[in-house]
Structure 1
């Protein structure tokens, strides 16, 4: 199998062995064509029935679609073939026969609903446009990693089984841990803060997070991938600068290295890398602009969160990625630092795509006494987080950071209708398998 030639590399004049899936068979009477598909593309196999061994023809044309086969033969130029070449077979080997009845059509000629696709994800990814999403996702993550390294960041990996939730509350998945109760982590927030106090100073992590929220929407998951950043000796403005850098790098990497995948999705002509600086709009201005659109049934007031409808109205008004800054302190987590000259305003920010929120971040409270006050104000027990709070007594520098939803970034980048399309095997309220 190691000696096989990929379909896209088959060159006229060569004798090659290709292997892949039976994509389609067209029997025209005296001549028939089998289209073989592998990871590089497709190649046409020509069967001239009168000139070939009957067993060879029978093997090649009786095999079911999506069976795995290997074909050895000579490559010839054929301008009418889909890729300009075709293979005249000397040998056809059926490696793995597929059932004649498939749960979905990998050719895409017959549409399947999202639930059926997710139930049969392996078959679903045999479609070029679906595979393209995950080729783009992989490139996005690679580009993000390279951009973090260029910012002087160290990649870290933090625990996903923890004794306490990052933000407390009921949005936690409990697990039994050697007879003790533990939880799946909501975020690497507390651990990455400890790392910037360790001397690493600038860190990032790409890993899973778990939230037991009872959502059932096209933009929520219960297991997601978070792209996290934390840096010492910076504030919320520096964190937003880094965030903008990372998002732009993600788009840039996809634009440079994923033209084929973008073409498969029909996006090669319209995909654009954001070049303008992302506007930074205060929460107060955001409320005013949303109300001025007239799109909401009820006006927003100070202290209200931005609903889905409000986000869309503001997104349509701004028309690009943008930050919402200076959120009210009362609606941001305990670890977000307040402004020194106005404790009702936090240093928290969100990065928004016109469709939905992508990032939540801000400067962190690095003063031990203020951090403890924040716990108490939000009804949390500081003692339960002592592993975290005590380190703030040993010299914690000012620091800031954020978390970015990887699936949301892919979803908005590609204009996907449902976030589950950007996940291989989604986990939500109903789906635990496959």
Structure 2
């Protein structure tokens, strides 16, 4: 069917072959309509029963919804049709018959819960709204790749099976690797740092990460897509500049190239790319502003991590994307560098959407002795990370970077209620199939 015509390209006066799914059948007595759907839209097929071959009419009106059919016929102008044209068929072939009992309704007239949708993702993506999410997700990834290249960053791919966890702890997925214990990687963090000490210097990666965390909330996954960046000779402020550039590029790409998808989600009038610089609040300023909202039962003090309720309160107060900087050293990972003039204060930062955290980053510790100290302070054995630490003996430049949650970016961009809506086949504590 390489010579088929997409429904959006069918013009009056042409004889075409279109192929797709039976979206709906409307039988009005002497006349009936089959609505055919393909990836570009829908088109009306008209059956005038008294003027057509009985077998053709019987086949066309007897086929089940969501069956795949190919239709050949003349395209005619019809203002009352959904797209202003319709096809009078000369032939209709049933390419693949669908079961009459569908587990969900791709037309969207009957709602299905999220679990049913995820169990039947192929059918779910036949709905315009669901398909739109993944068209937008694809544009986000295309736009950020282009923006990274404009920053002269080289795309890399790092191992997802590792001998040691990036951050240790209970969030590791252990696997058996030819008789040895191994783990699914929590982050490309250590590998991308090794790359900035190579001839590449500035790198990015878009790939899966795995965390065996206990959270089972609308914003947590056990397999997620991380958008990572690392650059030699960057400090934490320059890394934040790059982060802001990438997030804005994602929004701008969607605004420019996804109008149809935004319309399918009814977001065309309210979707806007962020403008201006993202505010940068210190951790101390953040807890002061959270406390001032009065939303928490107990006041936050220095050294507390920010609870979800606190993030929401601060997000509502700020009202746009923003950074939290200068976190206490004790609550940031071992590889985050402290400020030179205050060892209690790290160069770590988070970039926030008003509803949740999107990015974690900072300047990295590039001095070998200080790095090993950081391992020991967090109860990790430096010898287990020898492949990583030894490279810091051979001339590791100052560097900084961050990791951005791809699904969280799409979720917050589109106002989705559950992060699983932004994943084709989610992996969480209850879902391993499909």
TM-score by length of 1: 1.00
Distance 2:256 2:302 in 1: 43
Q: How far apart are 1:189 and its partner, in Å?
A: 0.1
Deviation at 1:170, TM superposition (A): 1.4
3-state SS, counterpart of residue 74 of structure 1: strand
The gaps in structure 2 that reach 5 residues or longer are none
Question: Which residue of structure 1 lines up, in the alignment, with residue 118 of structure 2?
Answer: 118
Name the counterpart of 1:99.
99
Report the secondary structure of 2:170's partner residue: coil
State the alpha-carbon separation in 1 of the partners of residues 388 and 98 from structure 2: 54
Q: 1:100, CA displacement in angstroms?
A: 0.5
Task: Name the CA distance, whole Å, in 2 between partners of 1:386 and 1:105.
Answer: 54
Q: Which whole-Å deviations, capped at 9, do the CAs of 1:156-195 have from their partners, x for residues lacking one?
A: 0000000000011111001110110100000000000000
Deviations 1:118-172 (A, max 9, x none): 0000000000000000000000000000000000000000000000000111110
Distance in 1 (CA, whole Å) between partners of 2:158 and 2:302 is 36
Q: Which residue of 1 aligns with 2:8?
A: 8
Per the alignment, residue 36 of structure 2 pairs with 36
Instruction: Tell me the equivalent position of 2:237.
Output: 237
Deviations along 1:13-52, whole A, 9 cap, x unmatched?
0000000000000000000000000000000000000000
Whole-angstrom CA distance in 1 between matches of 2:308 and 2:84: 49
TM-aligned CA deviation for residue 397 of structure 1? 0.1
1:204 to 2:230 alignment: no
1:205-242 deviation per Cα after TM superposition (whole angstroms, max 9, x unaligned): 00000000011100000000000000000100000000
Quote the residue 1:56 is aligned against.
56
Q: CA deviation at 1:301?
A: 0.8
Question: Number of residues paired by the alignment?
Answer: 434
Corresponding residue of 1:395:
395
Alignment of 1:107-186 (within 5 A): 107-186=107-186
Match of 1:349 in 2: 349
Superimposed CA distance per residue, residues 65-103 of structure 1 (whole angstroms, 9 cap, x where no aligned partner)? 000000000000000000000000000000000000100
| Alpha-carbon distance in structure 2 between the residues aligned to 1:187 and 1:60 | 53
Aligned counterparts of 2:167 and 2:134: Cα–Cα separation in 1: 31
How far the C-alpha of 1:404 sits from its partner, in A, is 0.1
Q: Does 1:252 align with 2:260?
A: no
Q: Say which is worse superposed, 414-423 or 291-300, in terms of deviation.
A: 291-300
Give the Cα separation in 1 of the matches to 2:297 and 2:109.
42
Query: What is the aligned partner in structure 1 of residue 83 from structure 2?
Result: 83
- The offset of 1:346, in angstroms, is 0.2
Tell me by how many angstroms 1:264 deviates: 0.2
SS of 1:170's partner is helix
Match of 1:19 in 2: 19
Q: Which residue of 2 aligns with 1:317?
A: 317
Task: Could you tell me which runs of 5 or more consecutive residues in structure 1 were left unpaired when the two chains were aligned.
Answer: none
- 1:355-386 Cα distance to aligned partner (Å, 9 max, x none): 00000000000000000000000000000000
Matched, 1:433 2:433: yes
Question: Counterpart of 1:293?
Answer: 293
Return the alpha-carbon distance in structure 2 between the equivalents of residues 383 and 114 of structure 1.
45
Deviation for aligned residue 1:199 = 1.7
- CA distance, structure 2, for counterparts of residue 423 and residue 209 of structure 1: 13
Distance in 1 separating the partners of 2:186 and 2:158: 12
Q: Secondary structure at the match of 1:238?
A: helix
Could you tell me how far 1:11 is from its partner in structure 2? 0.4
Map 1:363-402 onto structure 2 (within 5 A).
Answer: 363-402=363-402
How far did residue 296 of structure 1 move?
0.9
Say yes or no: does 1:73 pair with 2:73.
Answer: yes
Match of 1:46 in 2: 46
Distance 1:362 1:281 in 2: 14
